[in-house]
Amino acid sequence: MTTVTVRVPEELKEKMKKYGIEAGEVARRAWDEEVKQRELEEAREAADSLGEYFSQFPKEKILEWIHADREKR
């Protein structure tokens, strides 16, 4: 694991202490969630791009490719 230092206002630090908030755990969860959201957005963009690419081909041709690929397996 690596160490990351974050500066927070003193007032926030005191409130976190008052409520027993573990800064490291909260930060890890937030960063993990942010990374997951960005990966999901990246996947959506890739899917949209593929959709645009394949939209130029007739559906019958795409189905033909899928069937041919399945027969190879």
pTM for the full model? 0.69
Going from N- to C-terminal start, the domains of the chain cover 10-72
pLDDT at position 9 is 97
Written as one string, the DSSP assignment of the chain is ---------HHHHHHHHHTT--HHHHHHHHHHHHHHHHHHHHHHHHHHHHHHHHTTS-HHHHHHHHHHHHHH-
pLDDT at position 49 is 96
pLDDT in tens, 8-67: 999 999 999 999 999 999 999 999 999 999 999 999 999 999 999 999 999 999 999 999
pLDDT at position 16 is 97
Residue 73's pLDDT band, with cuts at 50, 70 and 90, is: confident
